[in-house]
Structures are given as structure tokens and as C-alpha cells.
Amino acid sequence: MTEYALELAGIRRHFPVRDALGRPRGAVRAVDGVSLRVAPGEVLAIVGESGCGKSTLGRLALRLLEPDDGQVQVLGQEWTTLSPRALRAARRDAQMIFQDPFASLDPRMTVAAAIEEPLILHTKLSRAERAKRVAELLARVGLRPETAVRYPHEFSGGQRQRIAIARAIASNPRIVIGDEPVSALDVSVQAQVLNLLMDLIREMELAFILISHDLGVVRHVAGRVAVMYLGRIVEEGPAAEIFAAPAHPYTRALLAAVPGQGHIQAEPIQGEMPSPIAPPSGCRFHTRCPYAVARCSVDSPELLGAAHKVACHLAGELPAAAPFAEAHTGGERLSRLAAHFHREEA
Amino acid sequence: MLSVERLSVTFETARGPLRAVDDVSFSLAPGRTVALVGESGCGKSVTSLAIMGLLPESARIGGGLTFEGRDLLALSPRERRKLAGGTLAMVFQEPMTSLNPAFTAGEQVAEALRVHEGLDHPTALKRAIEMLDRVRIPEPARRAAQYPHQLSGGMRQRVMIAMALACKPKLLIADEPTTALDVTVQAQILSLLAELKRETGTAILLVTHDLGVVADHADEVVVMYAGRVAETAPVEALFARPEHPYAIGLMGAAPRFATPGGRLASIAGTVPDLMAPPPGCRFAPRCPFGDERCAEQPPMAPLGQGHAAACWVAPIA
């Protein structure tokens, strides 16, 4: 019996860096010892800023990149040691959606061919059955049947993302990883794609990993949140708890920086994330942390806790954090009026 | 200070004329921030480029643009250039494309000071380093000697702001100034802009798609849709009570403003083709509130206290 859809244990990946003459000059420590579990039907968001390693982690989780160290288990099956051939077959269970569907869709393939490809790869369906399934998938993601014979460039960003979603769910996967799946879309289109993703997660009981820098989107969809900084998880827990009472100083800084909380931040956290080639000693956040003590520059804190985990020497001793200020200022009237748009959708 | 009156911008394209901005009016007072908000293609950036005088010559501009009592559209190209980068300054989304890769950060800020303040080279460079310090660039003297590609995105945006401020502008146009930046860096840049506005009294025209940024930083908001103004309002009024159905849809679609976990407003259909916009209200084909009146273009209906919406149905209960 498998409890988790996806389990990562101690995943590490460093990219060697060379100087202009090709001599090794250290390594980008992109992901440096990450463990995570995702249950069926659960939405886990991995958040953090550019260069924190969240996208690399997503690729490692599906072995689109090979980890240097650590284990990947999908539906209880050890993926780390699978042969390339076995891995290709196993991929029917775990699929990925990228930020830019244009880059992930072959421009010379019709929409039907793009969606049919995973069916050829992963199912024994006949040609006629596949055509039927493609039609069902198109309808499921809200695209018209005549879409099938057209090419990706003929579509808008939102429609292309729907095509990528249809392709990702074609093999009936149990796990989908979305790497910034709505970041390139305008707000109104983003809403349509988010509604679709949330419906699919519910209907298919998908384990969904949302890799995102957009905390508004994360607040809306995620049940659990993991915050990454320089290749490590600094805090992980139920989304509601993290937003109400962020424990790690970096999570606090990140949440406080989200616009729309009704005021201009007088003293936002200063500096930028240091280079992952030479991450700070001890706690990697200590160079920017307003609470850091001597110990933080020496000892690397472990990620500790039960449901809500924090990697901070001062966890529990810090002053209470300001909760994330929700911005739904339009209140009941806005919800009621906005609901008129749902009827249009149906 | 700035008055935009019935501004229209038309581009000649291979398929015929395209009116990117149509009948847009708003004004901006000293020390205030007006946000132009809307989605891709709504005309917000074209409006700001028209004010800056940065549109290609082929663009046909109609209506009026008045800045400090001067008719901008009547100025010669030379007078216009003198104004742009002086009392009128602009910061763009991607500073990499607006900074010259062949010159150091310090030289570029110094160049702005030389042109607009007539400083000699050594004085300008010294002042440039002070400006970089002012926009909170750590180790400004060292950074001044670096080229744009050696700086992070946030740092480059600070250099752009330093260049803009070097000329003590009365109006700063910030077109998606933080869209390409990470959230903590975005907070730093926005806080810097707010501080500079407080100190210098410069007015800001903030062009953005981000309703959260609008809510925190704008005094007044102009919501644009398909080249036209849908709604204008003081910021509190807009967020407490959006009146134009597009503004309602946009806010209901934004996860930050919708109820958490609930269904996001999904505006059916797509933005109209500006080559052949629908007659009447441009939002009508997607609007769940419309009726037969919407076949005609609605005027801006005043809703009190500076709040107005281009909608026959507004105010909506």
C-alpha cells in the first residue's frame, strides 16, 4: 500500500561551473538535500525566488534531471534506479506542465498529434480509441473539437496552456508538477487556467506540485507550502498556518513583500539572494536575516517539526509574525457579482 | 500638471489602421500617483509612450496632452527630447534593454547629469555615484564602474531609477517597473519609489497589470480595456466598490482579491481584435451584466467622489 504519491528523500544536485578556460571553478548548489512527501489529492506549493532551486527540484522529482544523491519514489516505486526504458513507461504516472507551453509543444505537431503522443507511448488504445480520447481531452480542457487539426502557434497563451494540460493528463497520471504554469498569463486568462487545474486536481485526485513565485496564486490553490532558499527548504507546512503564522524569517520577509496588503512596506528586507555557487556558511539566510545570532553563521539548522517544519535556530523564540494580510476588499458584493462570470463559463 | 484629453493613438499596419488607444482622458496632480491598469493590449503602455513622446513617427496621435500648461503635441521633436529625460522621465520593465551595454552604470547616470545639468565629466561622475548611493546600491563607487550585464535585475532597475532621478523629474512614468523582479526585490524598488516621491514631490504614472501594486501605491486608478478607459476612481473606492463589469471580473479573477480557494471569475471569450472592435461597449461580448443599451458606446457615468465608469448598467447593486 502506498501512502504517498511522491516521496523525495535527501535530493541533491550540483551543477559544475567552469571558468573561461574550462577549469572547474566550484559548483552551483542548486538543490542541496531536499526531502518532501505529497499525498494523492494534495496540492503542495514550492515557493521561493529566482535561483532558489525550485524548478531544478521539480525536474529532479520526475528524473528529467538526474539527482547526484537522494531517492525519488513515485507511488511507492523506487524511481532513482529505474532503467531509461522502465522510466519512460513509468512516466505515465507523473507528468509535468511548464511555464511556456510554446517551448514544450512541438510546433510541427498538430494539437491532436501532441495530445495523442502520450497515448501511443503509454496505452494500448487503438487508433480510433485514441481519436475518441483526444476529443474527450480537448473538451475536458475547454477547447473546441476543431482545435485538433491546428498547430500550437495558432493559439493564444491560455489556449496553449490548455493544450499542454490535455497532453499532461492524457495518460491518466497520479502526479502532475506545474512549473509556473500560469505565470506568463494575464490575470483573466490565469483565472480560467487555475479554475481548470483545480477542477482536474479534485476530479482526478491528483497529487499536484505547484512551483510558483506568486504567493497570491499559492494562497489560492495550495494545501501545503514548502519555502525554498538557496537550494534548501527553510519552512514547510499547511498553507493556512504558513500564511497566518510564518515561522522562518525568510518566509516572513517573502510574505511581507507581497503587494496588496494595504500599505507600503517601510523597511523591506534588504539585499538579494547570494550566489548559489558560494552560499553563506551556516544558515544560508543569515546574511540577510534581521534576527541572526553568532551561531547562525556557523551551524546549518535542520528542518524540524511535525506537520509544520522550520529550519531556524531561533524558531519559537522569535517575536510573533504579522499574518499575511488578505486583500479581498470587495467583500461579499465582489464575490456575488464575480459569480455572474461563472455562469458565463458553464 | 498632466492632463490627457481624449487621447487616441492609431498605428498603420499591413491589415489597416489599428487604434491602440481610443478616447482616453485622465489627469495627474503634483505629488500624486495615478495607476494605469489593465491586461496585455489594453493600451496602457502605448498611452505612457505617447506622453513620453516615444511612439514611432508613423503613429497618429489625436486629442490633447498638456504638461505644466504646455501642449506636448505642439512641441518640436527637439523640445520634446529635451523634456523627455528631464522634467519627464521614464523607467521601463526591462532595464537591460534601456541601459546601454557598452557603458558602465556610473557613466550612464553621469551622461544624464551632463546633458540635463551641464555638469563637467568628473563632477557628473561624482554626482552619479551619489545618485547610486541614493537609490541604495551597496558599494556605489564599485558598482558605478560595472557594466549592466554585471548587475542583477534589481540593481539595473535601481540604475534606471537613478538615471531618471538625476534630472529631478516632475513626472516619473514607471512602466511595469517591478514586473521582472522577485518579490522581495520588488518590495525594495517600490518602497524606494515611494520614498523618492515623498522627498521630491514627483508625480508618478504607474503602468501595471498588478492589482496588488495598484492597491498599495496608487492614489487614483484608471482601468483600461481594449484601448479605452473602463473605470476611474480613487484607489480605495475602486477596490471597495468596482463598478465596471470588467473591473469586477478582473478583481474576481485575481487570486489576491478573490475569496481564497473559491472559484475565480472567469471572463468568457477573449479581448477583441482592435482592428475590428465591436460596436458600442467593447466589453459587451464578454459581459454578463449587459443589455441592449450596450450596442452603443457608453459615456463615462459619474458615480460621485471622482469615481466614474464607462458602463450603461453602473452603478451595479
Residues B8 and B104 reside in one and the same domain: no
pLDDT tens-digit map of B56-78: 988 999 999 999 999 999 999 88
Residues of chain B with C-beta less than 8 angstroms from the C-beta of A273: 182
Which of B182, B212, B266 has the CB atom closest to A49's CB atom?
B182
Q: Which of residues 246-265 of A touch B (CB under 8 A)?
A: 253-254, 256-265
- Parallel, antiparallel, or unpaired for β B203-208 and B171-175? parallel
Of A193, A142, A154, A343, which is closest to residue B286 (Cα–Cα)?
A343
CATH number at residue B253: 3.40.50.300
- Sorted by where each starts, the structural domains of chain A and their CATH numbers stand as 6-222 (3.40.50.300)
Judge whether B317 lies within some domain.
no
Tell me the shortest Cα–Cα distance from B8 to chain A, in angstroms: 24
Residues B58 and B100 reside in one and the same domain: no
Residues B17 and B80 reside in one and the same domain: yes
As given in the structure block, the three cell numbers for residue B11 are 498605428
Amino acid at A216: G
Judge whether B159 lies within some domain.
yes
Residue A91 and residue A62 in contact, taking contact as beta carbons nearer than 8 Å: yes
Of B184, B36, B157, which is closest to residue B97 (Cα–Cα)?
B157
HSE, CB side, 13 Å, CA atoms: give it for residue A186. Answer: 21
CA B131 vs CA A105, A138, A190: distances in Å = 46, 55, 39
Residues B173 and B302 reside in one and the same domain: yes
Residues B6 and B99 reside in one and the same domain: no
Q: Which of B121, B136, B168 is the last residue of a domain?
A: B168
Judge whether B107 lies within some domain.
yes
Write phi, then psi, for B158 (nearest 5 degrees).
Answer: -65, -40
Question: What distance in Å separates the CA atoms of residue A346 and residue B4, rounded to the nearest whole number?
Answer: 40
Of A329, A312, A330, which is closest to residue A321 (Cα–Cα)?
A312
Residue B287 and residue B281 in contact, taking contact as beta carbons nearer than 8 Å: yes
Containing domain of residue B109, as a range?
Answer: 95-168
Non-local CB neighbours of B308 within 8 Å, separated by 6+ positions: B231, B232, B233, B300, B301, B302
Helix (H, G, I), strand (E, B) or coil at B117: helix
Is the Cβ pair A191, B265 closer than 8 Å? yes
Residues B158 and B236 reside in one and the same domain: no
Judge whether B112 lies within some domain.
yes
Residue A213 and residue A50 in contact, taking contact as beta carbons nearer than 8 Å: yes
- CA nearest to B184 within chain A: A257
Please count the structural domains in chain B. 2
Residues B118 and B214 reside in one and the same domain: no
Judge whether B63 lies within some domain.
yes
Judge whether B41 lies within some domain.
yes
Residues B197 and B282 reside in one and the same domain: yes
Number of H helices, E strands in chain A: 11, 11
Residues of chain B with C-beta less than 8 angstroms from the C-beta of A339: 252, 263, 265
How many A/B residue pairs have CB atoms within 8 Å?
Answer: 185
pLDDT tens-digit map of B89-122: 999 887 777 889 999 999 999 998 888 888 899 9
Judge whether B221 lies within some domain.
yes
Question: What distance in Å separates the CA atoms of residue A26 and residue A277, rounded to the nearest whole number?
Answer: 7
Helix (H, G, I), strand (E, B) or coil at A277: coil
Q: What secondary structure letter does DSSP report for A6?
A: E
Which of A258, A266, A339 has the CB atom closest to B183's CB atom?
A258
Buried b (16+ CB within 10 A) or exposed e, B301-310: bebeeebbbb
pLDDT tens-digit map of B171-213: 999 999 998 888 999 999 999 999 889 999 999 999 999 999 9
Q: Which of B133, B168, B203 is the last residue of a domain?
A: B168
Residues B114 and B81 reside in one and the same domain: no
Question: What distance in Å separates the CA atoms of residue B86 and residue B173, rounded to the nearest whole number?
Answer: 12
pLDDT at residue number B181: 87
Instruction: For chain A, 346 residues long, give each residue's pLDDT as a single digit of tens.
Output: 457 999 999 999 999 988 888 888 889 999 999 999 999 999 999 999 988 999 999 999 999 999 999 999 999 999 999 999 999 999 999 999 998 877 778 999 999 999 999 999 999 999 999 999 999 999 999 999 999 999 999 998 899 999 999 999 999 999 999 999 999 899 999 999 999 999 999 999 999 999 999 999 999 999 999 999 999 999 999 999 999 999 999 999 999 999 988 878 878 888 888 988 889 999 999 999 999 999 999 999 999 999 999 999 999 899 998 888 887 677 889 989 999 998 655 4
Mutate to test the interface with A, among B151, B178, B184 (most CBs of A within 10 A): B184
ipTM of the complex: 0.90
Q: Can you tell me which residue has the cell 516632475?
A: B170
CA A108 vs CA A114, A118, B9: distances in Å = 9, 16, 37
State the Cα torsion B241-B242-B244-B247 to the nearest 10°: -170
Residues B67 and B202 reside in one and the same domain: yes
Residues B73 and B107 reside in one and the same domain: no
Interchain contact A156–B (C-beta under 8 A): yes
Residues B148 and B241 reside in one and the same domain: no
Q: Which of B132, B150, B168 is the last residue of a domain?
A: B168
Mutate to test the interface with A, among B196, B238, B266, B311 (most CBs of A within 10 A): B266
pLDDT at residue number A264: 80
